[in-house]
Amino acid sequence: MMKHLNGKTVIVTGGTRGIGRAISLALAECGANVYALYARNRKNAETIEKEAEKRGLNIRTIRGDLAHEESYQQVLGQLEEVCNHIDILVHSAASGVHRNSMELSDRQLKWTFEINFFAVHRLTRDLVGKMGKGSRIIGITSPGGTRVIPSYAAVGSTKGALEALFRHYAFELAPLGIGVNLVSPGLVMTDAAEALPELGKMLNMTLDYTPSGKLTTPDDVAMLVKFLTTDAASQIIGQTIVIDGGKTLLA
């Protein structure tokens, strides 16, 4: 097993469920000390802690809602305490309101941006001083950042904004040896996906239009993120890498 992250420090937001959970486990398997951040669900945190212990992996969970100032400062304080340096920062946490654009209130849109955009920027800005040459920042985006998905106006807007912001991160941080990229999975079956309206219909359509004939899994996404942390990926800078079985090839 490749242990290219031995002794490295990794932070994964949303790191105890869905895609984030798969990423936390995959990077821990590479020898990293992983800090998996989560907002609320203690049960998910306990589950990944137990699995890590059983498999001899170094995963610690830190609870805190990054969209709330007091809670954010507590999480930041804990990270400052335990991390002298940070090698990989993965932004996987996301949430939001599923409504058509004209049904969105200001409050709902602001809340979605607070979680999916402002918390990402705040954490990156506050932690980048602990990152050096060879470090990586990886964000998880969505086809909804550039295309229309029904009832996805709020989340899609945050993902489009995130992609623009990450281009600037990549340009500004590359001279410091910090590689920045985004990963864009298609529809992945997670708890978050189950909250989508008309999920069954979307699943059938996704499968019909996916050339590979199968859905992308959290583990598929985690393997791509793992590759982006290797030396082989050092010249991949500022890209949004799509992993969707070819679905977005079709008009």
Residues catalogued as catalytic: 152, 159
Structural tokens at position 110: 């602001």
The 3-state secondary structure of 31-59 reads: CCEEEEEECCCHHHHHHHHHHHHHHCCEE
Closest by alpha carbon to 52, among 80, 82, 31, 67? 31
CB 6 within 8 A of CB 31: yes
Structural tokens at position 161: 């904004």
Structural tokens at position 27: 């990077």
**Using alpha carbons only, what angle is made at residue 55 by residues 217 and 223, rounded to the nearest 5 degrees?**
30
CB 168 within 8 A of CB 225: no
Angle between helix axes 18-29 and 218-228 (nearest 10 degrees) is 50
Structural tokens at position 82: 């335990």
